[in-house]
A = this chain, B = another copy of it.
Amino acid sequence: MKPVNIGICGLGTVGSGVYNILQRNAKQINSRANAAICVTHVGSRRDNPACDIGETRVSRDIFEVAKDPTIDIVVELIGGTSVAFDLVMMSIKHGKHVVTANKALIAENGAEIFAAAEQQGVIVAFEAAVAGGIPIIKALREGLAGNQINWLAGIINGTSNFILTEMASKGRAFPDVLAEAQAKGYAEADPTFDIEGIDAAHKLAILASVAFSIPLNIESIFVQGITQLEQLDIGYARELGYAIKHLGIARQSGEGVELRVHPTLVPAASLIAGVNDVLNAVMVDADALGSSLYYGRGAGSEPTASSVLADIIDISRVLENPPATWVPALGCPLEVLTAQKMIPVADIETCYYLRFSMLDTPGALSNATKIMADAGISIEAIIQKEQPAGIDYVNVILVTNRLPERCLNAAVSEIEDLSTVQGSVTTLRLEHLDQ
């Protein structure tokens, strides 16, 4: 068996997972890879790597790994987009294949990285960058290669899903659960990337590029996190038969491509509504296959390492083959990627959930619903509960049909202008995930 030498840069949570699994499952991994895979160089800025690596060579300067002439594959697990970018580019320049779990790096710098890899004749693989251990890149790029993908919708940030699950199942408030997520290590000390939807946007950009053969495009994504979500709305959603999940949604149609990340009401009976805690799932709608769903752990040491190893095994098997026979990074050759019109968020159609506080007086509801009717908006469901004596304002909850955001916004402004309506209208998007 040919030896394949691995250099791991960053031996933290995921890196030590990769190292440990490679020891534990060595026999099977080597037989599947048709190669003797061995970690021969570790780049780590710490003197105490997170696992016992025996006599393996360690460099404090991670760039030493990229320059090491004996290394075949550099595994980039340091995160971030500055040093990681330099490391990946230098690895490519030195003719190394690269495996990375870095979604921000691929989403933001993928174009440059893949172009350099193509020119240099090396592979850059990134299964672990999206949805952790779920082999979703492989499923889209190879398993569904015969299909046109219509849309995909994914729970692709475990921290947000953990927070929403706790809010829904235990009635807890957002800040309270966030603090727990941080204490448990699910959320970073600075949780912004997770809870503001940026991490999900990085992953969505990658998924959409592979699914639709479009260039990576992080700028065009409409991004909304979960920080504004209120317990009240989770409860009303449940009454209406919906769960609220933070979804990344990509859709392709004759009008162009829409990319968006936001809290979404989904039917409580749908499979994706049952994806709880830190778990991830991606639902894909494709022209030949129809709907399919891929579920599993989206983060953590060994789940993420599982995808890193899949990439290492794939590369080890084929690294001596002509580059034209490799699976292209984004599914098709770079020159085939074609930018499509990106649909502005104002034109994106979805159903909506609205909540507003209304003076409980004759004609008030009728005034609000007339605004909707005049705008051509149908009301699919409505809740208004009888109030105890002495309470003047009631919560009105409406679910609309599918319509562009600009139409919804116009109607919402008019409703907010009604003298019987107090404060602003809370709006959330709602998807049936069946079209």
Distance between Cα atoms of A302 and B144 in the complex (Å):
12
Cβ contacts under 8 Å, A295 to chain B: 271, 292-295
A269 is contacted by which of B127, B139, B274, B309 (Cβ under 8 Å)?
B274
Is A110 close to B, CB under 8 A?
no
Q: Which residues of the other chain, B, contact A271 by a CB distance below 8 angstroms?
A: 271, 274-275, 295
Contact partners of A235 in chain B: CB under 8 A: none
Q: List 13 A-B contacts (CB under 8 A).
A: A31-B213, A32-B141, A32-B331, A133-B290, A135-B139, A142-B314, A144-B310, A145-B313, A289-B297, A290-B296, A290-B297, A290-B303, A318-B321
Q: How far is the CB of A418 from chain B (nearest CB, A)?
A: 41
Q: Which residues of A contact B (CB under 8 A)?
A: 17, 21-22, 24-25, 28-29, 31-34, 127, 133-135, 138-139, 141-148, 213, 269, 271, 274-275, 286-297, 302-303, 305-310, 312-314, 317-318, 320-322, 324-328, 331-333, 336
Number of copies: 2
- For A146, the chain B residues whose CB sits under 8 A away are 21-22, 25, 29, 305-306, 308-310, 312-313
Q: Which residues of the partner chain B approach A313 to less than 8 Å between Cβ atoms? A: 142, 145-146
| Residue picked from A147, A289, A307, most chain B C-beta under 10 Å | A289
Q: Kindly list chain B residues whose C-beta atoms are within 8 Å of the C-beta of A312.
A: 146
**CA A321 – CA B324 in complex, angstroms?**
11
- CB of A288 within 8 A of CB of B21, answer yes
Enumerate chain B residues within 8 angstroms of A127, measured Cβ to Cβ: 143
| Chain B nearest CB, measured from A205 CB (Å) | 20
Residues on the B chain within 8 Å of A297, using CB: 289-292
Which 9 pairs between the two chains have the least Cβ-Cβ distance?
A: A135-B143, A146-B309, A292-B296, A133-B289, A288-B302, A293-B295, A288-B306, A289-B306, A31-B332
Task: Tell me how far the C-beta of A116 lies from the nearest C-beta in chain B, rounded to whole angstroms.
Answer: 20
Q: Is the CB of B305 within 8 A of A288?
A: yes
Residue of A17, A271, A320, A333 with most partner-chain B CB within 10 A: A271
